[in-house]
Amino acid sequence: MLGMFMVFLCMLASCARYGAGPTGGPKDLAPPVLLSAMPAEGHLLHDLNGPTEIALNFDEYVVLTGTENVITSPPLTKVAYTGHLKQVKVVIEDTLLPDRTYSINFNDAIGDLHESTPLRGYTYFFSTGDKVDSGRIDGVVKDAFTLEKVAGASVMFYGLCPEGYPVRKQPDYVAVTDTGGYFQCQYMAKGCYYLIVAAEESRDYQLDPTQEKMAYTSGCWKTQDYRPPVLFQKRAGVKESDTAMWRVNDSLYRMERDYKIQSVQKEDRCLYIYQDRLDSVFLKEAKLDKAGEITLNWYYALDQDSLRLEFLPAYSDFEMVRQWEAMQADSNRQEDGRRNRRNRLTEEDFELPDLTWPSYLRYAYVPQADPLVSKVYFNNLALDALRLVIRYKSFADTAELMSASSSGKKTAPDTASFRLSMSPSTLFFEDSMLLSFNFPVVGEDWSKARVLEIAVDEEGKRDTVEVAISNTCLKKIYPNRYCLAYAWKPGREYSVFVPSACFTDYFGRLVDTSFSTVRVPSLETYGQVGLRVQGMDTSARYLIQMVASGQDRTVIFSDELPKDGRMDYPYVSPGNISFVLIRDDNRNGVWDGGIYLDRIQPERRWFFPKTLQVEADWRIEETWQLK
C-alpha cells in the first residue's frame, strides 16, 4: 500500500512540473505576431511635449535585445525601450517636432523568447501633423576605393544643404545601411533632400571628417512614393502553420530587398564613401620615437611638393629664457635696500638652452611605403624637446615634441646600424633594382660597387663576366631609396656587391657590406594579354591597372588607357591577374578621394569581373564592356 502511494506522489509531481506535457510536433521558428499597438500605427499625435508612451502587444513572450540598433527618424535622443512578457514599451522624453511623421525601425531587436527568432525590420510610425507622410528614399553605400558595400553607416537627409564643415546640423531624417550597404528612409515628407553619409560608430549623426569616412550627394534626391510590402500574415495561435508562413514571408522579404538593391544600382542611386581631404587638418600625430627620428602620421596622403618643415626650440626653452631675463631685471632693482625676491630662482638654477640650434640642424624627410606615414631624421641627438612647424599649402600645424628622457624616463639609445636591402630577387628585364636604406643617405660612391653577369649554358656551365660599373645608372628617388638601372639580359643572373665605402648616412656611418643575387627570366617564361575596354566616356581620361588577384590587388602595371580602349601587355609573369579602371578626373595619374568643401566627388573605379590565368608563352584576348 505504501509503495502504491509513493508511485502516486511521483506521478503527481511529474504532472505538476512547469513545461511538462506532450512533446513533438513542428518546431515554431516564426517570430512574434504584433496583435495591437497603442496608439495604433499611423496615429496622429498632437501632444508634442511628452513623455510619449507606445505599447506593442504580441501573441507570445518576447525578448528585447540590441536596442542600440533601433533607428528613430527624425532622430530622437531620449528614448527608453523595455520588454516584459508579451509587450514592448517605448517611452519618448524628447520634445517632438510639429508636422512630422516619426518612424521607429526596430531592426532585429524584437524576438520570441524561446527560439530568439527576430521580427525582422518592424517599423512603428506616427505623425505629429494632420497626415502620415508617404515619401521614401533608398540607395546603396559603397567604399569609393574598394567598391565593397558599407554596413552600419549613418545616412542623413537634409531639406537644405548644410553649410560649413564639420557638419553639426541635426538632419531632418536618418537611416542606417544594412549588411548589404542598402538603406531606405520611409515616411518622409515629399520633396528633395541632400544626403550625407558618415561611417560613424557613435551614431550621433554629426560628421567629423578627420575621424570618419563620408559620402555626399552632389544634388538633392527626390522622394518616391512608399508602399509597404504585402506579405502573408502569420496566424496567431496556429503553431503548425507558423514556420511555413514565416519561411514564405522571409523569402518574400529577401526577394524584395534584392530587387530594391538591383533597382538603386541600375538607377545609379549609389553613394561612394571616402576619407575626405581637409588641407587645414592634415597632421594626425607627430612623435619623437628615439634619438634623431620623428614619425609623422597624416590623415590622408599629402602632395609632397607642397609640404615644408621648420624646426624651432620648444616652448619650454623660450619660457626658461624669459624667466632668466625677468630675474636679471629683478636683480637690478632694489626695494628698501634689499633685493627683490619675488623670483627666488638664482642664476645657478638655470642651464640656458641654445636657441640658435636650428641654424645648424640637418634633417631628411623620408616618405614611407604607407602614404599616411613619414619619417624625419635629424642630426642633433642632444635634443630633449623641440617644436616642429609643418606648413602645407596655405595652412600650418605645430607639434610640440618631447623625448622620453625629458619626462624622467630613460631614452633607449639608437643602436641601429646603417643597413641596405636590395629587391626584388626576380627582375623584369626592363625594370630597375631597388636599393632601400634604413637611414637617409648623404654620401655615395657607386664606383666602388661590383656587378657580375652570370650566364648558364645548356650543360649547366656558368660563365661570369664583370659589368662595367659605368654602364649602370644609380638614381636617388628618396633620401633613403635608390634605383639601379641597367640593360639586363633575359635569361641571366646578376650578382650585386656593395662594399661599406659606397654609402654614408647623415651620422657619418658607412653602410653594412651587402650582397644580392637577382635573376632575370627569359622571354619564353612570360605570357601575353590583350584587353579592349568598351563603353567609356570618350571625353574623360582613364587609368588602366593590371593587378594581382587577391584582396590587396597589388598593381603590376599602370598606364593611361588610349582613346580606342586597347591595351597590349607582351610580357606578363604567369599567375592570376585582373584589371582596375580609374576615371582620372584631375589627370594626376593616381586615384583620388573626394573633397566635400570643393564639391568634388571621389574618382570612380571599376573592377574587371574576371580573374585571368596567365601561362607562359600563351596569349589571352579579353573584352571589357563597362556597365
pLDDT at 22 over 70: no
- Cβ-defined contacts of 303-308 (< 8 Å, 24+): 303/393, 304/367, 306/392, 306/393, 307/365, 307/390, 307/391, 307/392, 308/390, 308/391, 308/392
Do residues 68 and 89 make contact, with C-beta atoms less than 8 angstroms apart? no
The reported pLDDT for the residue numbered 237 is: 54
87's CB contacts (< 8 A; 6+ apart) are 55, 56, 57, 58, 62
Cα dihedral 112/116/121/126 (nearest 10): 30
For 222-253, what is each residue's pLDDT tens digit? 999 877 665 545 555 555 456 666 666 667 66
The reported pLDDT for the residue numbered 387 is: 82
% of the chain surpassing 70 pLDDT: 81
* Segment 568-574 mean pLDDT: 94
> CA 246, CA 590: separation in Å to the nearest integer?
50
For 291-327, what is each residue's pLDDT tens digit? 678 899 998 888 888 999 888 777 666 565 565 556 5
Cell of 120: 525582422
% of the chain surpassing 90 pLDDT: 48
The reported pLDDT for the residue numbered 612 is: 96
pTM: 0.77
Which residue spans within 150-223 are E strands per DSSP?
Answer: 154-158, 173-176, 182-188, 192-198, 214-216, 221-222
Least confident of 201-215, 217-231, 591-605: 217-231
Do residues 494 and 456 make contact, with C-beta atoms less than 8 angstroms apart? no
Handedness of CA 236, 241, 245, 246 (dihedral sign): positive
> In a 3-state reduction of DSSP, which class is residue 568?
strand
Choose between 29 and 334: higher pLDDT: 29
Do residues 160 and 281 make contact, with C-beta atoms less than 8 angstroms apart? no
* Segment 582-586 mean pLDDT: 94
Do residues 470 and 476 make contact, with C-beta atoms less than 8 angstroms apart? no
The reported pLDDT for the residue numbered 191 is: 93
pLDDT at 411 over 50: no
The reported pLDDT for the residue numbered 5 is: 45
231's CB contacts (< 8 A; 6+ apart) are 248, 249, 252, 253
* Segment 381-398 mean pLDDT: 81
> CA 428, CA 521: separation in Å to the nearest integer?
7
* Segment 95-118 mean pLDDT: 87
Choose between 558 and 118: higher pLDDT: 558
Res. 132 pLDDT band, cuts 50 70 90: very high
* Segment 109-122 mean pLDDT: 81
The reported pLDDT for the residue numbered 12 is: 46
Task: Verify cis geometry, omega within 30 degrees of 0, for the bond prior to 171.
Answer: no
> CA 422, CA 29: separation in Å to the nearest integer?
62
Choose between 513 and 552: higher pLDDT: 513
Burial (Cβ within 10 Å: 0-12, 13-18, ≥19) of residue 179: exposed
What's the half-sphere exposure (Cβ side, CA atoms, 13 Å) at 35?
11
Count of Cβ atoms closer than 10 Å to residue 158 Cβ: 18
The reported pLDDT for the residue numbered 238 is: 52
pLDDT at 202 over 70: yes
* Segment 103-115 mean pLDDT: 86
The reported pLDDT for the residue numbered 619 is: 95
* Segment 184-201 mean pLDDT: 92
Res. 363 pLDDT band, cuts 50 70 90: confident
The reported pLDDT for the residue numbered 490 is: 94
Choose between 14 and 374: higher pLDDT: 374
> In a 3-state reduction of DSSP, which class is residue 459?
coil
CA distance between the termini of the chain: 88
Domains of the chain with CATH codes: 34-127 (2.60.40.1220), 135-232+268-273 (2.60.40.1120), 283-331+343-407 (2.60.40), 420-521 (2.60.40.1220), 526-625 (2.60.40.1120)
Choose between 122 and 27: higher pLDDT: 122
The reported pLDDT for the residue numbered 317 is: 60
pLDDT at 259 over 50: yes
- The amino acid occupying position 10 is C
pLDDT at 21 over 50: no
Handedness of CA 234, 235, 236, 237 (dihedral sign): negative
Strands of the 420-423 sheet, one edge to the other = 420-423, 433-437, 481-485, 473-478
Q: What is the β-pairing status of strands 492-498 and 441-444?
A: unpaired
The reported pLDDT for the residue numbered 120 is: 77
**Left, alpha or beta for 240 (phi > 0: left; psi -120 to 50: alpha)?**
alpha
Res. 32 pLDDT band, cuts 50 70 90: confident
Cell of 364: 631628411
pLDDT at 584 over 90: yes
* Segment 265-269 mean pLDDT: 83
pLDDT at 115 over 60: yes
Do residues 534 and 625 make contact, with C-beta atoms less than 8 angstroms apart? yes
The reported pLDDT for the residue numbered 19 is: 42
Average pLDDT, the chain: 83
The reported pLDDT for the residue numbered 336 is: 47
The reported pLDDT for the residue numbered 254 is: 74
Do residues 420 and 503 make contact, with C-beta atoms less than 8 angstroms apart? yes
Least confident of 24-33, 292-301, 570-579, 587-596: 24-33
Do residues 436 and 481 make contact, with C-beta atoms less than 8 angstroms apart? yes
The reported pLDDT for the residue numbered 322 is: 61
- The amino acid occupying position 393 is K
Highest mean pLDDT among 169-183, 259-273, 292-306: 169-183
> CA 364, CA 375: separation in Å to the nearest integer?
8
pLDDT at 508 over 90: no
